Amino acid sequence: MEVPSYPVNPAAIRLSALARQIQQAIEGVFGQQTFWIIADITNHTYKPQSNYHYFELVEKEQSSSKIVARIAGRAWGNACVNISNFERVTGQQFKNDINVLIQVSVQYSTAFGLQLNLLDIDTNFTLGLFEQQRKETIARLIRENPGFIQLSGSEFITRNKQLSLNRVIQRIAVISSATSAGYQDFRHTLDHNAFGYRFEVDDFFSMVQGEANARQFLSKLIEVFESDRQYDALFIIRGGGSQTDFLIFDNYELSRAIAKFPIPVITGIGHQKNETIVDLMAHTATKTPTKAAELIIAHNKSFEESLSAMQKMMLIKTYQLINHHKDRLVQLNQITIHTSRDLLQHHHRNMLQLSGLILTNPRIIISNKRKDLNNLLCNIQTYSRMYFTNKRGYIGHFQSVVRLMSPQNILNKGFAILKVNGKIASDSSAVLPGTRLTVTTADAEILTIVESKKEIDGREFNL
């Protein structure tokens, strides 16, 4: 088959020739220069067989997330070692959607186009981003929750911190990973404590690393709150890990929930450096799960020791009281003996004196008593005559009064008795015109009929 021929523009060049010119221009401008740039990683792949990282570096607008710049990148050789060091120090994997500060060189390949070769990566920049996010979360917690989160000097005051631990911690809830070595250490320390204490432990297993699992962790916190158990404390347990493993415990919503949780929260997250925000909001923070278990064992031991000290003090006070009363009883016994002896001697003397008087003066006493009886008899006779004379006078007076008040004597003075139907009329209410009256005088009884009745004022007859 014959290929048709076309006229060729004399100014046309091959793509490879243009690519070489671009390569020469870029090498002439950038040469051996290196640049520190801030960018996000996307489209990352790693080829372990060749130890190559392939990725794209992008920059986005903060307001709209629109990509304003994109250049392909790669790393190999010593750059891969620097990436491994970065992951070890920060705990952050070199992956998509992380913001990094990296050192790059510019390279243009006629076959692969423009690329940026990663030479080094700044760990402090990434750690600084973590710390900046942490500070912003703390500031937001204080700003948006003044009712239960305050900062006093360098100390946080939260509602959870102000709760009082029960004198004995026995019923506890634990949020941890079922496979966490820290959780196993925690349970082993509790179950094999040297004092034989027994604990009721309810497990609420959850993922405890990675900020993306904060919502699942928060749901477990709500599950503890809505349970019917009256827990003495809630423990948050996990083992050690890299710094990014603890980002879940810097989550705003989780930290806020811990700050106002109605059960004392004790953390044993396993970090040895900076405290997480959850540590700052919780009632008590310990460095490791084992330390958290030792804390409640020591707390219960302190209560037991206080009971033992109280028991010893009660025994000492009892012994002191018994000895005091023993001494007092001995003293009272001596007083009783001496007092009884003195009292008996006193009465013995009195009895001797009295018996002497009885033996020596019996006739005098009898004579005096006889005189007293004679005097009493004379007084009784005199008083009796006077008494009866007075009573006779009283009787005569009462007889005169009775005679004056007799009905006949009253009739003799001109008074009359009115009767209606055989009954004495004490007032005029029963007397009406036409009523038959019986009028009794001193010497006669008169029957009459009332013709009229007129009411009068009794005061007209006052004398």
Indicate whether 150 and 273 sit together in one domain: yes
Q: At residue 275, what are phi and psi to the nearest 5 degrees?
A: -75, 145
3-state secondary structure of 405: coil
Answer yes or no: do 173 and 286 share one domain.
yes
Provide the 3-class DSSP secondary structure of residue 389.
helix
Q: CB atoms < 10 A from the CB of 135, how many?
A: 11
Boundary-marking domain end, from 303, 325, 348: 303
Same domain, 175 and 285: yes
Q: Out of 95, 121, 147, pick the residue that ends a domain.
A: 121
Asked if residue 86 is part of any domain, the answer here is yes
pLDDT at 211: 61
Q: Same domain, yes or no, for 78 and 48?
A: yes
Domain count, the chain: 3
pLDDT digits (tens, 9 = 90+) for 268-324: 987 656 678 999 999 999 988 999 999 999 999 999 999 988 888 888 888 888 888
Bridge partners of 175, per DSSP, are: 204, 236
**Same domain for 111 and 141?**
no
Strand ranges for 77-176 from DSSP E: 99-109, 113-121, 149-152, 155-158, 171-176
Which is more confident, 210 or 125?
A: 125
| Whole-prediction pTM | 0.53
Q: Which two tokens stand for residue 220?
A: 């477990």
Residue 323 lies in a domain: no
Both 49 and 140 in a single domain? no
Has residue 378 been placed in a domain? no
pLDDT tens by residue, 154-174: 899 999 999 999 999 999 999
Last residue of a domain, one of 247, 281, 303: 303
Average pLDDT for residues 122-141, to the nearest whole number? 84
Mean model confidence pLDDT for the chain: 85
Query: Same structural domain for residues 157 and 112?
Result: no
Interval 74-84: pLDDT, tens: 999 999 999 99
- List phi, psi (to 5°) of 159: -60, -35
Q: Assess whether 112 and 169 both reside in one domain.
A: no
Tell me if 100 is assigned to some domain. yes
Are residues 142 and 281 located together in one domain of the fold?
Answer: yes
Residue 47 lies in a domain: yes
- Domain coverage including residue 281: 132-303
What pLDDT, on the 0 to 100 scale, is given for residue 121?
A: 92
Q: Which CATH number is 252's domain given?
A: 3.40.50.280
Asked if residue 3 belongs to a domain, the reply is: no
| pLDDT value at 463 more than 50 | no
Residues 91 and 160 grouped into a single domain? no
Residues 8-25, mean pLDDT to the nearest whole number: 83
Distance, in Å, from the CA atom of 149 to the CA atom of 266, rounded to the nearest integer, reads 17
Which of 264, 333, 334, 258 minimizes the C-alpha distance to 292?
A: 264
Flag whether pLDDT at 441 surpasses 50. Answer: yes
What mean pLDDT comes out for the span 84-98? 82
